[in-house]
Chains A and B, each alone.
Chain A
Amino acid sequence: MSAEIKEKDPLFSLKNRKLLTVPLNRENPITMQVLGICSALAVTAKLEPAVVMAISVTFVTGVGNLVISLLRKSIAPRIRIIVQLTVIATLVILVDQFLKAYAFDVSKQLSVFVGLIITNCIIMGRFEAFGMANKPWPSFLDGIGNGLGYGIILIIVSFFRELLGSGTLWGYPVLEKIGLYRLGYENNGMMILPPMALIVVGIIIWVQRSRVRDLIEDK
């Protein structure tokens, strides 16, 4: 125990770097842990809200995990969920207030989904699984890593949904510019409906597992 305390990890040791990178692939919150699916379906019809959502969630998981980790020794186990929820809700309200004051346009676009970050399962999952049991710095990295892991899936899904569903990317009419419509192509209206997000996520999981074969469970 004492040896462990003395031996200080450098800020970006291999172990700490792994906290950031592992959630991007091997322990991705959406494709591997199947958390945060709800908002992945809701905000991915367009690229821009998906990106802002990814940034907001990354901020909340990172800072929240840090706060929980700092408080972890003082939190009574019986009320830990309440404390975690309070921390999440506070951070989310702060994000919302600041967006309204300094980035009014973005906040109008994201509207309800900022508030819904509170119910994102990933955040609470990380607080419970990591923040409550680890030191502040690794917890912060773990939060950021998981936020990014969530964000990257959101961005991939919204890329395909916006491109195939609306024919635009970040609002820019890509398909119209390359003249696909003149060849008789039409946007697939199905893509902008939530069920297609689930199918795209399914395809991402398929691709991921066929590339990293040891993720496949034994029968």
Chain B
Amino acid sequence: MFSNRYIFIYSTVMVIIVAVLLSLTAMLLQPRQEKNMTIAKIQGILAALNMNATPENAEELYQQYITTELAVDQNGQVTTIYKDGKFEMGEVRPFTIDLKKELYNKKMGSPFVVPLYIAEVNGDTLYIVPLRGTGLWGPVYGNIAFESNFNEIAGAYFTHDKETPGLGAEISTKEFSSQFIGKKIFNDAGNFVSVKVVKGGISTLATGQQIHGVDAISGGTITSNAVSEMLKNCLENYIVYIHNTITI
């Protein structure tokens, strides 16, 4: 028979061994995991430019194409400019901004800043907006690139942590994200309308509205709605900036 004393000691020892083992593993693997995450973030930004970066050449391509990183505050004012590896304004690199925290601040009505990346590709200026939202099981996120008029979408990339494989997880496929190319976030009157993911397909929309919509994923309605919501929530932060800087 086992005494209570034995059971207590046994459990304590077991828990300590497990805790040490797991913390050691986590500590040893952390640098690798963080590097993976940074590279994944860079790959995501490049993917919005329709570039397929490998983990090896991601950082190199990023330096080659992304010329400027900006931080834009809640009033649409630029607070940080990080250009060609040097700060022209501010001192925190916009790349390191934690979008999750900033969007939480936004929800709470506190001041926040959001990053904006500017790329030069074959002489064209492209704007890349990082996105983050809430899917069915966990966060959905991605990047969306705009042509120099900051209206027409040049490319999009979406990914997720926990969406259902085969259903909501399909947002990370090229078939889904390539639908966004050529869509517009402003209507002809210049008002912000975002791009919606439409259940049942954009053929159900009026002809004039189809430029602001893409087809949803069958079986992935909640994730599809999350993408719509994410686009609206993240893009509206830049409206003032767009009106101030870009004249069409």
Interface of A is mostly: helix
Tell me, rounded to whole Å, the shortest Cβ–Cβ distance linking A42 to chain B.
7
A-B contact count (CB 8 A): 82
Whether B96 is near chain A, meaning CB under 8 Å from some CB there, is: no
Please determine whether A90 and B21 come into contact, CB atoms closer than 8 angstroms.
yes
Tell me, rounded to whole Å, the shortest Cβ–Cβ distance linking B9 to chain A.
11
* Residue from B29, B40, B159, B164 with most neighbouring chain A CB atoms (10 Å): B164
Size category of the B interface is 20 to 34
Known contacts A112-B162, A166-B166; A79 and B11 CB within 8 A of each other: yes
Please determine whether B165 and A43 come into contact, CB atoms closer than 8 angstroms.
yes
Considering the chains assembled together, what is the distance between the CA atoms of A82 and B236 in angstroms? 49
Whether A46 is near chain B, meaning CB under 8 Å from some CB there, is: yes
Tell me, rounded to whole Å, the shortest Cβ–Cβ distance linking A23 to chain B.
25
Interface pairs (27), CB distance under 8 Å: A46-B166, A76-B10, A78-B2, A79-B11, A82-B11, A83-B11, A86-B14, A86-B18, A94-B25, A97-B25, A97-B29, A97-B33, A98-B25, A100-B29, A100-B36, A101-B29, A101-B36, A102-B32, A104-B40, A109-B165, A109-B169, A111-B138, A111-B161, A112-B162, A192-B167, A192-B218, A192-B219
Known contacts A45-B167, A94-B21; 8 additional CB pairs below 8 A are A42-B164, A75-B10, A76-B6, A104-B36, A109-B165, A111-B162, A162-B166, A192-B167
Going nearest first, the 10 A-B pairs with the smallest beta carbon separation are A45-B166, A76-B2, A112-B162, A101-B29, A101-B32, A104-B36, A111-B162, A192-B166, A49-B165, A76-B7
